[in-house]
A and B are shown apart, each in its own frame.
Chain A
Amino acid sequence: GQQVMQIPQYQHVQEGEDFTTYCNSSTTLSNIQWYKQRPGGHPVFLIQLVKSGEVKKQKRLTFQFGEAKKNSSLHITATQTTDVGTYFCAVKAAGNKLTFGGGTRVLVKP
């Protein structure tokens, strides 16, 4: 089935700085979803990208789907302590199951 690799695995960010996490696949993806899981919490759906080159914004979060639909990125500007958590990308695989990447764990230094 389709698999996605997320990098980096860990991201230490100074509060106020920007950072980007990436999701890469060796195959073309029909769509990609992003989720956020706060420490001790459950994954929460953030967004879905479908079109080649698509860019969507949610306040300080910018999501992008690559032109070849093989990668995606999540960029967060002016990081805040509320951004702490693990960000997962996920892709639909055979049988409509959602396959998650390994996640990027974000730690914010105040």
Chain B
Amino acid sequence: DSGVTQTPKHLITATGQRVTLRCSPRSGDLSVYWYQQSLDQGLQFLIQYYNGEERAKGNILERFSAQQFPDLHSELNLSSLELGDSALYFCASSARQQGNYGYTFGSGTRLTVV
């Protein structure tokens, strides 16, 4: 157990639907990052939050949005889902916004759009 909790582990939904992925960072970590990993692909950065505020954005689609709540958990909302959105979505946390710390990843949510 890495200390980063992601739910659900698996999600199967139809095209056009909307889903919410949830992440609880490791205790004490203020930064949360979301990554997308398609089949046999690398890790694509989506978005970063630090203590409730958005701090960096990657190539995140307009259909996707995220937020970090006062208790520091984060949610990634994916809407108008397309087949190509099927992927593993990882959440990671780190101890500080700036610093020489590695990221701690959760186990991921596997999203299948049918």
Please say whether chains A and B are actual partners in one complex: yes
Interface residues of chain A, those whose CB is within 8 Å of chain B, are 31, 33, 35, 41-48, 50, 88, 94-103
B41, B97, B100, most chain A CB atoms within 10 A: B100
> Nearest chain B CB to A12's CB is how many angstroms away?
16
Binary CB contact string for chain B from 68 to 106 against chain A (1 if under 8 A, 0 otherwise): 000000000000000000000010100001101111111
- CB-CB under 8 A for A31 and B42, given A42-B107, A96-B48: no
Chain B residue with minimal CB distance to A46? B102
Q: How far is A41 from B107 in the complex, measured between Cα atoms in Å?
A: 7
Interface residues of chain B, those whose CB is within 8 Å of chain A, are 2, 31, 33, 35, 41-43, 45, 48, 55-58, 90, 92, 97-98, 100-108
Further contacts, 6 of them, CB under 8 A, given A42-B2, A43-B90:
A44-B105, A48-B100, A88-B42, A88-B43, A96-B56, A98-B103
Q: How far is A101 from B45 in the complex, measured between Cα atoms in Å?
A: 11
Q: How far is A43 from B2 in the complex, measured between Cα atoms in Å?
A: 10
Residue among A35, A41, A50, A96 making CB contact with B97, cutoff 8 Å: A96
A-B contact count (CB 8 A): 57
Chain A residues within an 8 Å CB radius of B101:
48
Chain A residue with minimal CB distance to B31? A96
Residue among A42, A48, A96, A101 making CB contact with B102, cutoff 8 Å: A48
Verify A50–B55 contact, CB threshold 8 A. no
Verify B56–A42 contact, CB threshold 8 A. no
Verify B104–A45 contact, CB threshold 8 A. yes
Chain A residue with minimal CB distance to B35? A100
Q: How far is A78 from B110 in the complex, measured between Cα atoms in Å?
A: 34
Verify B43–A97 contact, CB threshold 8 A. no
Q: How far is A94 from B41 in the complex, measured between Cα atoms in Å?
A: 22
Verify A96–B90 contact, CB threshold 8 A. no
- CB-CB under 8 A for A43 and B105, given A100-B42, A102-B42: yes
Closest 4 CB pairs of A and B: A45-B102, A95-B56, A42-B105, A100-B43
Chain B residues within an 8 Å CB radius of A98:
33, 45, 103
Chain B residues within an 8 Å CB radius of A31:
100
- CB-CB under 8 A for A33 and B58, given A43-B43, A96-B48: no
